[in-house]
Amino acid sequence: MRQVVQNAVGQGEKRAPKARTRLFLPALAATALASGCVQDPDPGNHPAAGQQPPLQAPAARALHSYAAGLEAAHTARVAAAKRWKLRRVPLTPPPPPARKPHLTTRKGFEVTGHRALDLPPVFTTVPTRDKVVFLTIDDGAEKDPAFLRMMSELKIPYTAFLSDYLVKEDYGYFKRMRDRGVTLNNHTLHHPYLPGLSYARQRQEICGMQDVIEKRYGTRPALFRPPFGNYDKNTLLAAKSCGIKHVPLWNEEVFVDRWEYREWDRALHPGDIVLSHFRGRGDWKGTMPDMIRRFLDKVTAEGYAVAKLEDYL
């Protein structure tokens, strides 16, 4: 059973002042070029009137090229935001932290002997001061090509947690997702209620999905999310034995028509993990791009960028 406090987002949603797209690096590069921060090695050696000027210094060319590349990327992002009917251009996340946050199991989410057994941490938020959130999408039922295009064009990172009974309908779809830089993680073979199974059955569900992802996509996941967010001690013991390092849950869930919250304040916080699902019109009153539009409009309006979860683990 999802441990979330339901609250439909309507006119009561908080709205921050209009977010401004970050262009710090292009502006910095342009300022450096304009102010002469790239020094002339021989300031006294300038061409006379009518003479051809010397070639531009390599350092200046590199800085100019870097600034031009960032500006082009921003221009493409603005165009993509307009094409996908977003209210604002999504903010660019900061670089991944050089020193990863120390992750511990959220209070109240421990199992007996959690620390002594060195079981994977279970958490809903990553400790960070960066104003970022992490988008995670579960199961694999809907395989919408428009969703892949949207996320690629907007350059929005996300993490997938897959179940084989749904993914096997079209392994190629998720290969295309992987090729776009998305990490594919473990959500069991058949999406059962794990605490109702024996240790051996739980291990079969988790390790079996590890094998599928390794065989189909070439890597063995380090992240696992138990179906429905339910687990017990055997779940975490089995997950550890299968090579799992982290068990991220979620602090908010976004649908095509609403948000749901775990916390009493019904608000986003730095480092929050947001859950959604691969769903379409068969389950929702809309499409996956509609869900992403709702997600991005809210987080951007509140001044959050979307970062890649794996960059912080």
Please report the domains of the chain, with CATH numbers, ordered by start residue: 22-36+55-83 (no CATH), 97-312 (3.20.20.370)
State how far the Cα of 138 lies from the Cα of 111, in Å rounded to an integer.
24
pLDDT tens, position by position, 84-106: 999 999 999 999 999 999 999 99
Mean pLDDT value across residues 64-87? 88
Confidence tier at 6 by pLDDT (50, 70, 90): very low
Cβ-count burial of 29 within 10 angstroms (0-12 exposed, 13-18 middle, 19+ buried)?
A: buried
Count of CB atoms within 10 A of residue 168's CB? 14
Lowest mean pLDDT among 39-53, 115-129, 130-144: 39-53
Can you list the pairs that 59-66 forms with residues at least 24 positions away whose Cβ atoms lie under 8 Å?
Answer: 60/33, 63/29, 63/32, 63/33, 63/38, 64/29, 64/33, 66/25, 66/29
Contacts of 25 (CB under 8 A, 6+ apart): 66, 67, 70
- The pLDDT, as a whole number, for residue 43 is 47
CB-facing half-sphere around the CA of 40: CA atoms within 13 A: 11
pLDDT at 52: 58
Q: Which CB contacts under 8 angstroms, 24+ apart, belong to 12-17?
A: 13/259, 13/298, 14/267, 14/302, 15/301, 15/302, 16/301, 16/302, 16/303
Residue with tokens 């309507």: 10
- What pLDDT, on the 0 to 100 scale, is given for residue 57? 66
User: Tens digit of pLDDT for each residue in 231-279?
Assistant: 999 999 999 999 999 999 999 999 999 999 999 999 999 999 999 999 9
Do 307 and 133 form a contact (C-beta atoms < 8 A)? yes
- Cβ partners under 8 Å of residue 270, min gap 6: 128, 129, 130, 131, 132, 133, 304
Which tokens hold the place of 196? 């109702």
Q: Span 124-131, mean pLDDT?
A: 97
The answer to whether residue 4 scores a pLDDT higher than 60 is: no
Q: Classify residue 95 by burial, with Cβ atoms within 10 Å: 0-12, 13-18, 19+.
A: exposed
